[in-house]
């Protein structure tokens, strides 16, 4: 009897010893933080985006800390590939300075709130990227890159009747030679005779 009980006990111990410990269910990933005005993801304080074009690569550094709405909006177009096959199609020249404009074609998201430069502390200096618009609150998928200082485009400047200017949200860190080449392209009025195609746009480390 004692031997039988001993065998049962050791068998039970062996059974439990062979069992795998219960696997812990990992906690769910935290939900991304959203901007209350638009529901877009809160952007990083600083993030770089490469725009690959038929003329070469342009690298932007976006300022999500000071211009979160405009940065989040641009990243929305980048991350969903709506900028792919977009074009640089317009140029405004003032001597060697000016700006070029690009968009995502007819692939658009709802407009975003305006972030005037008086609030962000940013400015339309050489290499600045900003969001084009009509009235305040209509900015969506149109963007410009400055060549030279174009501070008249800032809030308080002469570019808009409402004096709110355009929303700067970053600057070019590589590829200004490409930007200048596009600015000097052959024009018909303000439109490029041969628009420059965006082959892709993506975040980079």
Pick the more confident residue, 75 or 1.
Answer: 75
Per-residue confidence (pLDDT) for residue 15, from 0 to 100: 47
Is residue 98 a contact partner of residue 147, using CB atoms and an 8 Å limit?
Answer: yes
Length of the chain: 205
Residues 57, 61, 64, 66: is their CA dihedral positive or negative?
negative
DSSP E strands in the chain: the ranges are 46-53, 56-63, 87-94, 97-103, 128-131, 142-147, 167-174, 187-188, 191-204
Distance CA(157)–CA(60), nearest Å, equals: 24
Q: At 25, is the pLDDT very low, low, confident or very high (cuts 50, 70, 90)?
A: confident
Is residue 89 a contact partner of residue 136, using CB atoms and an 8 Å limit?
Answer: no
Per-residue confidence (pLDDT) for residue 32, from 0 to 100: 77
Distance CA(199)–CA(154), nearest Å, equals: 30
* pTM as predicted: 0.85
Q: At 13, is the pLDDT very low, low, confident or very high (cuts 50, 70, 90)?
A: very low
Arithmetic mean of pLDDT, 174-195:
97
Q: Rounded to 10 degrees, what is the CA torsion of 69, 42, 108, 152?
A: 20
Mean pLDDT of the chain: 90
Question: Is the pLDDT score of 3 beyond 60?
Answer: no
Per-residue confidence (pLDDT) for residue 205, from 0 to 100: 86
């Amino acid at each position: 009897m004692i031997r039988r009980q001993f065998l049962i006990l050791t068998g039970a111990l062996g059974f439990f010893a062979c069992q795998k410990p219960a696997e812990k269910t990992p906690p769910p990933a935290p939900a991304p933080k959203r901007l209350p005005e638009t529901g877009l993801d809160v952007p990083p304080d600083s993030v770089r985006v490469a725009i690959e074009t038929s003329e070469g690569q342009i690298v932007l550094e976006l300022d999500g800390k000071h211009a979160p709405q405009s940065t989040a909006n641009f990243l929305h177009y980048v991350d969903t590939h709506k900028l792919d096959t977009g074009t640089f199609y317009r140029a405004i020249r003032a001597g060697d300075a000016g700006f070029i404009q690009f968009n995502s074609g007819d692939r658009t998201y709802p407009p975003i709130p305006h972030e005037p430069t008086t609030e962000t502390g940013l400015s339309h200096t050489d290499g600045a990227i900003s969001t084009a618009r009509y009235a305040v609150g209509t900015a969506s998928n149109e963007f410009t890159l400055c060549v030279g200082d174009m501070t008249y485009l800032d809030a308080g400047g002469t570019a808009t009747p409402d004096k709110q200017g355009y929303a700067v949200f970053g600057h070019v860190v590589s590829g200004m030679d490409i930007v200048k080449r596009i600015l000097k392209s052959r024009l018909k009025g303000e439109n490029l005779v041969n628009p420059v195609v965006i082959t892709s746009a993506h975040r980079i480390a």
